[in-house]
A and B are shown apart, each in its own frame.
Chain A
């Protein structure tokens, strides 16, 4: 029926019960719960139509699907559980993933700390090793892998070969994918690896509108980022803001397919419409007004702490957005934010513009002020810290630990992540380079304390309130009890681990 199939494994082809943050559990191994139950909590099966097309699929896959549909290919995004029968006829299989091999944070931390393979990598491996896929490959199926984790194949060449992946595509693929698929269908030679350089990324008018619903109604409003942080690859691409027409078309697609809540995706939602680092209040307000006119509940993918502080202090913009977002349907919203470090010295070296328009010297204060603004406005952030950055010193890490203490009063989750080389640092070999030091352990412990302090409040009062969420709430309560039990004597365990590390 379809010549070209797009798919991914269960941990990606899911809407996490409509709760995006539960997706973080898919980056870990099953702990304290049997794996099927763990997967049910974080990655429930996706609804499909009669032929197995997924109701919702990752947004990036929807973009590629749209390009190929516009180019006239017979293409569909198929749920992994319904893949086998399509593989009998399909000639090209396109894969995407956020973390094929669990090399990204936080998967890599989970793996390093628990010594157990995270469920996302296990699930992807099961997909690639299923007999129907192996059989299709023997018959000549072409496999093209892309998505944000495409670079990981360069570190897993054995799997690249073993699973018969023909081509890996790294970068925004809108302008290259149709040609690759055409070559694959016509048995023409395919490149083994494609890197989409800055001159090949699509211009705004070349970005297609998705044809079917995206996971949790996610819609992109901006590509690129102006901050030039050294650890990030997004910043290398040109900044492009979608027009309101483009955004509205995608809102209509999602709503027409029954998705009533959604996520606004941008590296920095509060910089929508801006050409630099100063928020444009009119554009941001119009954006939220538009999105809220289609979706009952909305959240943000990412925002910068400096933009949050600036937007509120200059324009009362966060408060104004809260008045638009919070209503009978929702009384909070979530966002991912990057703290990365509490050290001014390190901030100056690796992310000098992250605090802009405030000076890098103010970074810890910017973080604290932004957390206070979010707390007051019912924004619940999942914040990241990066440990093991190049040039990081013991003092830098202790500054981060001190900042964590100052953030204790603010409702949030703070996740420590070990540095994974991207952007300017992406040739660094982090597998052998990262050495967990005592001060890293101190930061991780404070993050755990912070999470245990706030999790029940977030879970019961905001995230999973109401009778319909009772089973999920119960499962998470069980998991948290397990975590408390396992970490009850954590100081003793840390001392034992340090002794083992020092001996070796």
Chain B
């Protein structure tokens, strides 16, 4: 695994999403990841989601983080660009069926679909 990965969070930062974020983050760190580009995809790009991410951001003290915000409509384009650029992408969502849809999309992009 490379030092730098893309962690994509889609939809509202619910308790489930936050829990998944902490778990993914911990797993990535244990694999030696040193920098995470956290990409938040929201219906309307707004800073409200940062309140949802605050606990996660403050808990981190070691790993480099870049937090980018995107409108949900950009999701496919951004994921495509990241996958084509050879980035390792992990997706999180606390909302179903959004989560399954995004994982399907990501798998399809990774397999060249």
Contacts and interface: CB of A to CB of B under 8 A. Distances in A.
B47 interface: yes
A196 B64 contact: yes
B35 interface: yes
Interface stretch (B52-60, B89-97, B104-112): B52-60
Contact of A195 (B50, B51, B65, B68): B65
A191 B36 CA distance: 12
A424 B57 CA distance: 13
A424 B37 CA distance: 23
A199 B64 contact: yes
A463 B60 CA distance: 41
Contact of A192 (B51, B60, B69): B69
Given A197-B34, A426-B58, A154 B64 contact: no
Interface string B28-61: 0000001101000000001110110011011111
Contacts, number: 65
A233 interface: yes
A157 B50 contact: yes
B50 A194 contact: no
Contacts of A199: 3, 34-35, 64
Contacts of B61: 233, 236, 423-424, 426
Contacts of A197: 34-35, 60, 62-65
Contacts of A233: 61
A146 to B, nearest CB: 14
Nearest to A154: B54
B37 to A, nearest CB: 8
Nearest to B60: A195
Interface string A283-323: 00000000000000000000000000000000000000000
Contacts of A157: 47-48, 50-51
Given A233-B61, A236-B61, A427-B58, A192 B68 contact: yes
Interface in A242-296: none
Contacts of A189: 68
B48 A191 contact: no
Q: Report whether over half of chain B's contact residues are helix, strand or loop; otherwise say mixed.
A: mixed
Contacts of B60: 195, 197
Contacts of A427: 55, 58-59
A198 B64 CA distance: 7
A155 B69 CA distance: 18
B62 to A, nearest CB: 5
Interface string B11-31: 000000000000000000000
Given A157-B48, A157-B50, A194 B66 contact: yes
A192 B64 contact: no
B54 A191 contact: no
Interface string A216-255: 0000000000000000010010000000000000000000
Interface centre among A193, A200, A426 (most CB of B within 10 A): A193
Given A157-B48, A157-B50, A191 B66 contact: yes
A151 interface: yes
Contact of B57 (A160, A193, A198, A423): A193
A195 B59 contact: no
18 contacts: A155-B54, A157-B51, A160-B47, A161-B47, A192-B68, A193-B50, A193-B67, A194-B66, A194-B67, A195-B63, A195-B65, A196-B64, A197-B35, A197-B65, A199-B64, A236-B62, A423-B61, A424-B61
Interface of A: 151, 154-155, 157, 160-161, 189, 191-200, 233, 236, 421, 423-424, 426-427
Given A157-B47, A199-B3, A423-B61, 15 more contacts: A154-B54, A154-B57, A155-B54, A157-B50, A161-B46, A192-B67, A192-B69, A193-B57, A195-B60, A196-B64, A197-B64, A236-B61, A424-B61, A426-B59, A427-B58
